[in-house]
Chains A and B, each alone.
Chain A
């Protein structure tokens, strides 16, 4: 495990929803007809209407989403997860992710974890936590744990930095530092 992951954002909360559909197209969260809405508060109110009309009322800051295999397949747009973050969702744990979706959300600094077996490991509203140091997802409601797949280094660093631009700024600063102090090894 890269040491960078020790400073990862906290992923500890309830399982606010389980998307058990494989190849889940995240645009469905807000509905394709709403995908061009830019007001995030409006999007948040529209989110999850077809899955659970009370979702916005029941979700709490820090809650997490759980997904099935190839979560984010299709042609994912950014508004659905912007809406989810506005509602307090702190991350996604899925059996596996579709690469395009994964990249897009990691570039927003949104923590996500690929965890084969997660669907059978949680029930809705269980209290769960990603233990970055131990490399496991813990289910506090059931007293169980399951390993997740280590993140590629750059993805972990990008999430840790809070997204693409802060990550790139950090890198640029590091490179300048390395040039300035050629005798000091990189971090």
Chain B
């Protein structure tokens, strides 16, 4: 019986010849990542010093800290948090990435998405590094274990394999693939397991699309998602890799707890209806519902293919008066590329409010909605109060749907615009 990519990565990280799903192990993460956020990094830094007497981390190159929330700051207290983070990173010689963009995307750009690496973070959206054959798990507060010791205590997870075949039709995007997975498999289908994407269509899917799908894995209950790295992904990741590791892949006879087949050609655009990421519907069921705001961005979406889709819909058209459309590229690297392609001018000329990368739109810190307002969004989540008032609503959908809806002022089908 062969091994999954997850079992192989964790075996190496645990210093064992082999591990199997279900085994309790202590594994040494190759990289420990975090963004600064009150109650998280400030607490880790303090606890390390005061409770564990750790003045300096032993291997600073294993760490990576991002400043992507509260960017730019709105209060002095937020700036103090950032100062604390900058100081800690400087004292510890730990790489800090401030204002490079949303950390989970930047992590890939700067080489933490090393194929074959084991990565931990507190935030589960780090799962998107799985696009590159990296096993990246969000541990919530428990990531503190990786700050105060070399290893983390985990149980080797089982794997659910999803084989993708066929190809997406126009107007259908990676977002729809993910939300379709939640619909088909269920929001608890991959609980405490790894969602492994494979099948004949993976190689043809864009890296950005795979980042979108893997980045949202938590809403299937998965601990993370992973793709066996193919030449396209290796071409991106290997030159940037921060560590020399042999990329690994699942054996053909690896054991999966379940195997599902998805034909991409069957898929339609989807909307996820508030207040839960589990409530997925065909877009056509909700056409015409009035909206006040649109948001295109986040660690899940906001990359070039999303910006291109929106630009295609918006080119030569106007965002409806009274609708606020916020477009926030996921990273500086992507924003610069979008500018070079002329996408930024197309979006701005159509009336979109285009901002530099920040996480703040996704959780309502800015562009905050009030009671009774409704948004279409490519953000990660649609729970109550996520983008402002608990009595505002978020309909999640793909970037083209956000753009079409912003033109019409109601949930709209992008396909007539393409």
Contacts and interface: CB of A to CB of B under 8 A. Distances in A.
Question: Is chain B a partner of chain A in the same complex?
Answer: yes
Interface of A: 22-23, 25, 27, 31-33, 35, 69-70, 73-75, 96-100, 103-104, 106-107, 152-154, 157-158, 164-165, 168-169, 171-172, 175
B167 interface: no
Interface in B215-239: 218, 221-223
A104 B144 CA distance: 12
B337 interface: no
Counting chain B CB atoms within 10 Å of each CB, the highest count among A22, A75, A169 belongs to A75
B47 A32 contact: no
Contact of A99 (B51, B144, B192): B192
B24 interface: yes
Contact of B188 (A98, A154, A158, A175): A98
Contact of B386 (A69, A75, A96): A75
B409 interface: no
B95 interface: no
B191 A99 contact: yes
Contacts of B389: 33
A94 B145 CA distance: 27
A74 B24 CA distance: 26
Given A73-B188, A74-B276, A154-B155, A172 B149 contact: yes
B56 interface: no
A82 to B, nearest CB: 13
Given A32-B384, A100-B140, A154-B155, A73 B149 contact: no
Contacts of B222: 99
B221 A168 contact: no
Given A74-B381, A153-B24, A164-B145, 11 more contacts: A22-B188, A23-B187, A27-B384, A73-B188, A99-B191, A100-B138, A103-B141, A154-B24, A165-B51, A168-B144, A169-B51
Given A23-B188, A70-B191, A103 B383 contact: no
A75 B149 CA distance: 28
Nearest to A108: B141
B385 A70 contact: no
A158 B153 CA distance: 10
A179 to B, nearest CB: 13
Interface in B91-136: 124
B385 A32 contact: yes
A35 B142 contact: no
B247 interface: no
Interface in B171-195: 187-188, 191-192
A116 B192 CA distance: 15
Given A25-B275, A73-B187, A98-B221, A168 B390 contact: no
A152 B276 CA distance: 28
Given A70-B187, A168-B148, A107 B142 contact: yes
B139 interface: yes
Contacts of A23: 187-188, 276, 278
B390 A33 contact: yes
A98 B145 CA distance: 21
Contacts of B223: 99
B191 A107 contact: no
A35 B383 CA distance: 13
Contacts of A168: 52, 144-145, 148-149
B294 interface: no
Interface string B267-291: 0000000011110000000000000
28 contacts: A32-B385, A33-B389, A33-B390, A73-B221, A74-B276, A75-B383, A96-B188, A98-B191, A99-B191, A100-B140, A100-B218, A103-B139, A103-B142, A107-B141, A107-B142, A152-B24, A152-B155, A153-B153, A153-B155, A154-B153, A154-B154, A158-B142, A164-B142, A165-B47, A168-B149, A169-B52, A172-B52, A172-B148
B140 A104 contact: yes
Contacts of B386: 75
Interface in B363-386: 381, 383-386
Contacts of A100: 124, 138, 140, 218
A73 B52 CA distance: 33
Contacts of B153: 153-154, 157, 171
Contacts of A154: 24, 153-155
Contact of A171 (B51, B149, B384): B149
Contacts of B221: 70, 73, 98-99
A104 B141 contact: yes
A31 B391 CA distance: 11
Interface string B50-94: 011000000000000000000000000000000000000000000
Nearest to A24: B276
Nearest to A169: B51
A165 to B, nearest CB: 6
Contacts of B47: 165
Contacts of B191: 70, 96-99
B55 to A, nearest CB: 15
A106 B153 CA distance: 13
A70 B145 contact: no
A103 to B, nearest CB: 5
B188 A164 contact: no
B140 A73 contact: no
